[in-house]
Homo-oligomer: A and B are copies of this chain.
Amino acid sequence: MLEKVDLNRKMEKKEYKKRMDELQPKLSRLQRDCKEKKIPILIVFEGLGAAGKGTLINGLIEPLDPRGFQVYTTAVETKEEKMKPFLWRFWTRIPSAGRIAIFDRSWYRRVLVDRFDGLTSPEQLDYAFGEIASFEKQLTDDGAVIIKFFGHISKHEQHKRFEKLRSEKKTAWRVTKADLERNKQYDKYLHMNEEMLEKTDFEYAPWHILECTDRQYAIAKMTEIVVSALEQALAEREHIPAEENGEEKAERQELATSVLAGVDLSKTMDKETYRKELAHLQKRLGELHNELYKYRIPVVLAFEGWDAGGKGGAIKRLTQALDPRGYAVHPVSSPTEEEKMHQYLWRFWKNFPKDGHVAIFDRSWYGRVMVERIEGFCTTEEWKRAYHEINEMEEQLAMHGTIVIKFWMHIDKDEQERRFKERQENPEKQWKITDEDWRNRAKWDEYVTAVDEMLLRTSTTYAPWVIVEADSKYYARIKVLKTVVEAIEARLER
């Protein structure tokens, strides 16, 4: 892509002014239209050193309403960022619906400058490409527009620009030794850039090369691309059928196997055994929590299950054993307005633990393929896509070194009724039961279908589902504790 480019392209001032006078008011209006249609926009600037990313960004934002965009500069990871999965800092910065996020260097760092600087190992490289593809796909699937620019100049032009910067006291600091070295080995680095462009030139998020020898040419071309990308996004938005959801909702998918049907709910435990095991496992978990901290291993535990399945009780037995400074419990209920304005996984990314910490989710991102699916809060296409999206997210956590375990607290329908009634009759427990619980119960069979599919499609080696037979609370709590203890021990042995 880079070698065939004609770097001598230029634009005269008069022509430039004419083009920009047409394009800028258009862009200005497009920004408003995209805001109204709630389209999130990401614009990425990568490219060769001294190609002029700063100038491009300034040219881009000139006609934009400053209240609607934010520019992010991506430098080497800070200490805090290193303690989270690599994409964490980008997930937390994705624009909300209708806003524009502009990235001066981006999630491509790892496969570009970090690679050049030897910060990305060859093993990490392939994996990084995969993460990038998944990140961009998840966002565009959610309706975001991603526009990627690569600023290109010749070896000679780059050398000239470096020298000019170096000749002035005010700007000399901007040219590093690495820059000069990269200019010397221009061809080698160009090859790596080329490789990156080829591997990540997706239909859903294509690259645009900007010939940056002449800045006016580059700015005009960039503006034109942004205008046409936004026009296209708006046009596509027009053609989406209003609600293709209704009909499909009725379609019941029959799975070949049912995981839930095979669960043996007769498992039980007597009180004395429970007490002994509990004391033993909690003590052990307390010790292991220190080890986690020492070796900076993060842990993510997600609890799902039937209402009254005993999530709260199990979580409590875990947290009793943990140092309160090293864990957080995140109760997950319906998303807030702000959360609704972002891709649905955004609110979980925000809460992923830093290295050495434990995050416990009471309900989780699996709401997408259960309640949202069943209640029609998202389209069929959206929840079907979610299995893969969730697997990718969990894989990223695991690759970062996180222990990820998901618990399904399973009880049968009679046991649920017994527990609901007990809650209603006991004044101390009434707060635990709401009308919604009864409404959900009426949809038991729909949930069975959804849960079965979820368990099949998202049980992975790196983030397994553990089905907890929970008709006996004692048995269930011990199984949860034991699972966590064993998973940590297994990790520490590695």
Instruction: A46 to B319: give the CA distance in the assembly, Å.
Output: 23
Instruction: Determine if A32 and B431 form an interchain contact, defined as CB atoms under 8 angstroms apart.
Output: yes
Q: In the complex, what's the smallest C-beta–C-beta distance from A45 to chain B, in angstroms? A: 11
Instruction: A320 to B60: give the CA distance in the assembly, Å.
Output: 11
A-side interface size class:
35 or more
0/1 per residue, A61-74, Cβ < 8 Å to B? Answer: 11001111011110
0/1 per residue, A4-44, Cβ < 8 Å to B? Answer: 00000000000000000000010001001000100000000
Instruction: Determine if A428 and B29 form an interchain contact, defined as CB atoms under 8 angstroms apart.
Output: yes
Q: Among B36, B312, B323, B360, point to the contact of A65 (Cβ < 8 A).
A: B312
Q: Is A175 at the interface (CB under 8 A from chain B)?
A: no
Q: Among B57, B65, B320, point to the contact of A324 (Cβ < 8 A).
A: B57
Interface residues of A in 298-343 (CB under 8 A from B): 312, 315-316, 319-320, 323-325, 328-331, 336-338
Chain B hits for A104, CB < 8 A: 325
Instruction: Determine if A67 and B336 form an interchain contact, defined as CB atoms under 8 angstroms apart.
Output: no
Chain B hits for A57, CB < 8 A: 324-325
Instruction: Determine if A54 and B329 form an interchain contact, defined as CB atoms under 8 angstroms apart.
Output: no
Instruction: Determine if B323 and A54 form an interchain contact, defined as CB atoms under 8 angstroms apart.
Output: yes
Q: Is A210 at the interface (CB under 8 A from chain B)?
A: no
Chain B hits for A389, CB < 8 A: none
Contact A67-B331, Cβ < 8 Å, known A58-B324, A78-B80, A324-B58: yes
Instruction: Determine if B66 and A325 form an interchain contact, defined as CB atoms under 8 angstroms apart.
Output: no
Q: Among B29, B32, B36, B336, point to the contact of A338 (Cβ < 8 A).
A: B336
Instruction: Determine if A320 and B62 form an interchain contact, defined as CB atoms under 8 angstroms apart.
Output: yes
Q: In the complex, what's the smallest C-beta–C-beta distance from A402 to chain B, in angstroms? A: 20
Instruction: A228 to B248: give the CA distance in the assembly, Å.
Output: 56
Q: Is A230 at the interface (CB under 8 A from chain B)?
A: no
Q: In the complex, what's the smallest C-beta–C-beta distance from A398 to chain B, in angstroms? A: 24
Q: Is A51 at the interface (CB under 8 A from chain B)?
A: no
Instruction: Determine if A67 and B431 form an interchain contact, defined as CB atoms under 8 angstroms apart.
Output: no
Q: In the complex, what's the smallest C-beta–C-beta distance from A101 to chain B, in angstroms? A: 11
Contact A67-B362, Cβ < 8 Å, known A32-B431, A80-B78: yes
**Chain A residues engaging chain B, CB cutoff 8 angstroms:** 25, 29, 32, 36, 54, 57-58, 61-62, 65-68, 70-73, 78-80, 102, 104, 312, 315-316, 319-320, 323-325, 328-331, 336-338, 360, 362, 428, 431
